[in-house]
Amino acid sequence: MPFTIAEIAAALGIRAEGDTSLSVSAVAEPSQARAYDLALAMKPEFATQLADGRARAAMLWAGADWQALGLSAALLAPRPRYAMSGLSAMMDAGAGYGVGIHPTAVIDPTATLAEGVSVGPFAVIGADAVIGAGSVIGAQVFVGRGARIGQGALLHPGVRIGHDVTIGDRFIAHFGATVGADGFSFVTPEPSAAEKVRETLGDQAGATAQSYARIHSLGGVVIGDDVELGANSCIDRGTVRATQIGNGCKFDNLAQIGHNVVIGNDCLICAQVGIAGSSRIGNNVVLGGQTGVSDNLFIGDNVITGGATKVLSNVPAGRVMLGYPAMKMDTQLDLYRQLRRLPRLIADVAALKKSVSKPDSSD
Amino acid sequence: MPFTIAEIAAALGIRAEGDTSLSVSAVAEPSQARAYDLALAMKPEFATQLADGRARAAMLWAGADWQALGLSAALLAPRPRYAMSGLSAMMDAGAGYGVGIHPTAVIDPTATLAEGVSVGPFAVIGADAVIGAGSVIGAQVFVGRGARIGQGALLHPGVRIGHDVTIGDRFIAHFGATVGADGFSFVTPEPSAAEKVRETLGDQAGATAQSYARIHSLGGVVIGDDVELGANSCIDRGTVRATQIGNGCKFDNLAQIGHNVVIGNDCLICAQVGIAGSSRIGNNVVLGGQTGVSDNLFIGDNVITGGATKVLSNVPAGRVMLGYPAMKMDTQLDLYRQLRRLPRLIADVAALKKSVSKPDSSD
Amino acid sequence: MPFTIAEIAAALGIRAEGDTSLSVSAVAEPSQARAYDLALAMKPEFATQLADGRARAAMLWAGADWQALGLSAALLAPRPRYAMSGLSAMMDAGAGYGVGIHPTAVIDPTATLAEGVSVGPFAVIGADAVIGAGSVIGAQVFVGRGARIGQGALLHPGVRIGHDVTIGDRFIAHFGATVGADGFSFVTPEPSAAEKVRETLGDQAGATAQSYARIHSLGGVVIGDDVELGANSCIDRGTVRATQIGNGCKFDNLAQIGHNVVIGNDCLICAQVGIAGSSRIGNNVVLGGQTGVSDNLFIGDNVITGGATKVLSNVPAGRVMLGYPAMKMDTQLDLYRQLRRLPRLIADVAALKKSVSKPDSSD
């Protein structure tokens, strides 16, 4: 899939210099680049590695002196990382899933597939499901009864979409991702120990043995446009109303979104994050890897959590949080520093006690 | 699936008042309820939203003044949350999986399927497997050789049950859940650095490079009745004897149960919980989301852990735990408060040192 | 699958005593052993339970007095846990997957399957894929276009291997494991709040709403020999170059390995561990369950982390780490002890303040 430097510059709307008729067919790190690769040296510290490879052209930062780097041509991007988005899309040969409907696929006659839909081997599409134009339903995918998926979806092999789930356009879901499994909702005949603990905190719970009755999940899941869901991630259906995911949200692998959760637009949910039932997440929120959010909380717009942050209470808009329990990041970092002084503090207090000890101060 | 208010009251054994011949076909939150929905307003604070919707009937708490809320009929439940269990079951139209054996399913001729078993497209059932009456084996499910599954099971698409696993009645497993993958058990020819660290704690480990040999998992998994397993959760097989799960246990999504673990009855294991190999969990235990339990520990009956609790040592029965490392919840909450006083404490000690400084107190 | 004690001893290279012609067909814990089982009593504390079972032969530690334990024969292993590796392999009847190519499998005509490859029902093997001799591709497995898998692989049902992934010999992957899903890499047109936080730490992020553009993952995954991947674990593909996993690495269930990560040889990655993008892990590293490693970090050889350790900065070789944030294990354990003294410390300082209070010391 070769492109000339000029073609790439035009497609990305960035500046090209040098021999822009030079053709590249792949991207590479500077030191590993072959002669027909476009090297990626987006910061000055990577440019020195160009000499270790054989690239004749590179994507560089705006203003880079590409001639001094021994190149024949250069792409100069004001924000190279952003330019990587368009460049990587151009260079992506795709996963090679077949086009058309594979003869083994089991598609209910009442399902509606718009123009240009592909369905892979052993996929199952249930009654009354609707798949938008140009969507790719990979091998071994399951789409439940009445599920609606918009245009241009890409469901990789093994994705499961439950019944009555509604998903917008350009949805991408990776291997084994699931949408619309039942929520985790159980109830005991009498108030359970866990319910009592929520009221009393820390009080030891009574020890009455009770079995759980399940509450069925009658709500579905409603997902906006341009959402991406990582491998083996799970978004559960709601209990009464739907679990809701806004436009532009991106979920990494192994994330867990509980029943009734509401997430706004353009959130980044990193790997292994868990959001417990009925919590509400604003817009443009970033939850770092392994973040946990307890149930029934509210996380405001633009909140960012560092890796493994455990959010046990509401977080106002704009906060940057870290730690367990989650605190403002600067407070948490101060605390980490203070904790390192604890041994000295203990020694100081012991010395002080000795130094001020008088018969009347002992207890 | 319409029911009259009287029919619902009779089925749930709760009180109905007003025009009990009124028919409802779905449940809804008060503000979103349509005229033919049963609104759910289980606490007084939700009842005010009834005015925003169009419900003529609602499920309310015992003693609610439904007439003052403008309703024509009401269901009055002494514990509305518990009533939701039966009500949601009545209102659940199900996932719409087909009945009967799908012609594409590959079922070993030596497998035994009791009366009324359904098997979906592309499911695989191995030799000598036994499936109890009325069980639903979803699309793309795998059931291994010699696995035994009781009556009334519901295995959603993509569930994998390993060979020689035994499961009781009414088992529910969601998309991608796995039972009976091999345990994680490896051994080095000589004691490994990790083994030494367990003895010395904190001592830096020796640096001899060794490769791992695998210990095969010869035990199976034995699961009781009425167990539910969330999407993409994993229960590993035992090494020599079976991993054991008691009756009535419920697991949320992405939970991990290691080899040889023994769990009692009626435990609630929330999402992303991990229980490491050979730990024993009592009855009626609740492990909050993202809880971790180290290997070879004992967790007593009725223990409850808050979200993200990391259990590094045994926990006696009845304890309510929180934090990393896990402490009694009230102790942990006290500690959080004390930590907030640390900056002040450091300042106080500095001031005290200055105030009491004498030549002989310096060190 | 019966073996005589003599045969086992010869296979494992360990000592046998007593009636070594005695035949056993399975292994068991001492108290549950039947007459034809080999009891496993690898430490003296387990030997007392032999009396509760009916075993006539046992695997014991070197030097054990088997006659005093009432046995007819014994296997005496200098390191019984290591002997378990070979013994368990002998005793493993396997999962019973069929041999040969199942007629339902969809195998691209351009794929190359070496001698003795088995492919289960509903498996899909893409164009130009190469599968090494003797490999077992389980039911419902997906192998993408151009993927290369070495000899003697065992892919359990539901495993997904993405396109252009390269895997060495003797690879084992459990139910639902995925290799080669896209990395989690998104970029905003202007620097995002999360990017700014990385520079300013703790500063509240600006609140400009931006949508994310995806960076395609053009790198693959390269995995060495003798690697094992647990159920529903995920290894993502790289952005420009491949994500790399060395020889002999073992991953437990639900682990997450981000894009561009490089892992050395013989690492043990326990369940629910997450390693964020572009981090580099040395050789012989052990990451305990639920460990998290932030992105772009370096973890040296022989590092060991305790359960749920959250690594937020580089770790030099040989370190044993614990906690959140990760500290040296002994420092962390000291800190836990010091924290328990915090209430007393606060009281002491209050008493000291009172005892030394003078007009000029107040602030």
Structure tokens at B274: 């991990």
pLDDT of residue B197: 80
Contacts of B103 (CB under 8 A, 6+ apart): none
> What is the least distance, in Å, from the CA of C224 to any CA of chain B?
13
**β-strand C327-328 against C320-322: which pairing, if any?**
antiparallel
Burial class (CB in 10 A: 0-12, 13-18, 19+), C191: middle
pLDDT tens, position by position, B106-117: 999 999 999 999
What was the ipTM of the complex prediction?
Answer: 0.95
pLDDT of residue A1: 76
Report which of B281, B172, B157, B159 is spatially closest to residue B226, judged by C-alpha positions: B172
CB contact under 8 A, A215 and B85: yes
Chain A nearest-CA distance from C301, in A, is 23
- On whether any CB of chain A is under 8 Å from the CB of B186, the answer is no
Residue A214 C-alpha, separation from nearest chain B C-alpha, in angstroms: 6
Q: Which of B157, B286, B328 sits opposite A202 (nearest CB)?
A: B328
Question: What average pLDDT is seen over chain C?
Answer: 94
Give the pLDDT score at C209. 80
> For residue A207, what pLDDT is reported?
59
Q: What is the pLDDT of residue A202?
A: 60
Contact between residue B246 and residue B223 where contact means Cβ atoms under 8 Å apart: no
Closest of C172, C207, C170 to residue C190, by C-alpha: C207
pLDDT, one tens digit per residue, over C229-284 is 999 999 999 999 999 999 999 999 999 999 999 999 999 999 999 999 999 999 99
Measure the CA–CA gap between C64 and C243, rounded to whole angstroms. 48
- Interface list for A 12-51 with B (CB within 8 A): none
State chain A's mean pLDDT as an integer: 94
Pairing of strands B320-322, B327-328: antiparallel
**Type of residue at A130:** V
A285-313 residue pLDDT tens:
999 999 999 999 999 999 999 999 999 99
pLDDT in tens, B7-42: 999 999 999 999 999 999 999 999 999 999 999 999
The backbone torsions φ and ψ at residue A235, rounded to the nearest 5 degrees and listed phi first, read: -120, 115
Is B204 within 8 Å of C320 when comparing Cβ atoms?
A: yes
Contact criterion met (CB below 8 Å) for C130 and C108: no
- pLDDT of A119: 98
Chains contacting A (3 or more CB pairs within 8 Å): B, C
Four-way CATH pick for B106-322: 2.160.10.10, 3.40.50.150, 3.90.1720.10, 3.40.50.300: 2.160.10.10
Cα–Cα distance for residue pair C30/C48, rounded to 1 Å: 8
Q: How far is CA A77 from each of CA A26, A36, C264, rounded to the nearest angstrom?
A: 18, 20, 34
How sure is the predictor about B199, in pLDDT bands with cuts at 50, 70 and 90?
confident
Q: What is the pLDDT of residue B195?
A: 82
Residue recorded with tokens 């994330």 = A255
Select the residue from A169, A284, A310, A331 to test the C interface by mutation, using most C Cβ atoms within 10 A. Answer: A284
A32-48 pLDDT tens trace: 999 999 999 999 999 99
The structure tokens listed for C324 are 């959140």
CA–CA min distance B251, chain C (Å): 15
Q: What is the pLDDT of residues A211-224, one digit of tens each?
A: 999 999 999 999 99
Return d(Cα C97, Cα C90) in angstroms, integer.
18
How far is Cα C322 from Cα A118, in angstroms, rounded to an integer? 49
Asked if B121 lies within 8 A of A124 by C-beta distance, the reply is: yes
pLDDT at C358: 57
Q: How far apart are CA B342 and CA B348, in angstroms?
A: 10
Which candidate, B90, B89, B32, places its Cα nearest to that of B58? B32
Q: What pLDDT digit, counting tens, does each position of A11-33 carry?
A: 999 999 999 999 999 999 999 99
According to CATH, what is the number of the domain B3-91?
Answer: 3.40.1390.10
For residue B209, name the pLDDT band (cuts at 50, 70, 90): confident
Question: Model confidence at A124, in pLDDT bands (50, 70, 90)?
Answer: very high
Q: Which residues of A touch B333 (CB under 8 A)?
A: 201-202
Residue in A88, A268, A334 to test binding to C, most C beta-carbons within 10 Å: A88
Our CA-based measurement puts residue B176 at a distance from the nearest CA of chain C, in whole angstroms, of 7
Q: What angle do CA C104, C109, C114 make, to 5 degrees?
A: 85
Active site residue B163: no
CA dihedral in degrees (A211, A217, A218, A219; nearest 10)?
A: 150
Of the partner residues B124, B203, B234, the one whose CB lies closest to the CB of residue C121:
B124
Alpha-carbon distances, residue C119 vs B164, C93, C142 (angstroms): 21, 19, 11
pLDDT at position B193, please?
82
Confidence band, pLDDT 50/70/90 cuts, at residue A358: low
Measured CA to CA, the distance from residue A286 to residue A293 in angstroms comes to 12
Are the beta carbons of A170 and A153 closer than 8 angstroms? yes
Q: Please name the chains neighbouring C, where neighbouring means 3+ C-beta pairs under 8 angstroms.
A: A, B
Chain C residues 81-140 with CB within 8 Å of chain A = 104, 106, 122, 124, 126-127, 140
Reported as a single tens digit per residue, the pLDDT across A102-116 is: 999 999 999 999 999
Cα separation, A310 vs A321, whole angstroms? 9
Six token digits for residue B141: 């499910």
- How far apart (Å, rounded) are the C-alpha atoms in residues A297 and A276? 9
Q: Summarize the confidence of residues C22-29 as an average pLDDT.
A: 95
Closest to B304 measured CA to CA, from B323, B285, B291: B285
Spell out the alpha helix ranges (H) of A128-211: 193-200
As beta bridge partners, residue A119 has A101, A137
Topology match between the domains C3-91 and C106-322: no
Give the nearest partner residue to C204 out of A157, A248, A320, using CB atoms: A320
Question: How far apart are alpha carbons A58 and A76 in whole angstroms?
Answer: 9
Domain boundaries, chain A: 3-91, 106-322
Residue closest to C212 by CA, chosen among A269, A271, A266, A253: A266
pLDDT category at B362 given cuts 50, 70, 90 is very low
pLDDT per residue as tens digits for the range B297-352: 999 999 999 999 999 999 999 999 999 999 999 999 999 999 999 999 999 999 99
What pLDDT was estimated at residue A39? 97
pLDDT in tens, B87-100: 999 999 999 998 99
- A-chain CB neighbours of C239 within 8 Å are 84, 88
Task: Check pLDDT > 80 for residue B363.
Answer: no
Phi, psi at A207, each rounded to 5°: -115, 30
- Using pLDDT thresholds of 50, 70 and 90, give the confidence band for residue B361: very low
Model confidence at B200: pLDDT above 80:
no
* Residues of A whose CB is below 8 A from B301: 207
pLDDT tier at B75 (50, 70, 90 boundaries)? very high
Q: What is the DSSP letter of B50?
A: G
Sheet holding C130-131, edge to edge: C112-113, C130-131, C148-149, C166-167, C221-223, C243-245, C262-263, C280-281, C298-299
Q: In chain A, what percentage of residues exceed pLDDT 70?
A: 96
Put simply, the answer to whether C289 touches B274 (Cβ < 8 Å) is: yes
C142-169 residue pLDDT tens:
999 999 999 999 999 999 999 999 999 9
B254 touches chain A (CB under 8 A): yes
Determine the longest span between alpha carbons in chain A, in angstroms. 93
**How far, in Å, CA of B145 to CA of C300, rounded?**
43
Q: Which two tokens stand for residue C138?
A: 């389980």
CB contacts, 8 Å: C236 with chain A: 231, 253
Alpha helices (H) in A63-207, listed in sequence order: 80-91, 193-200
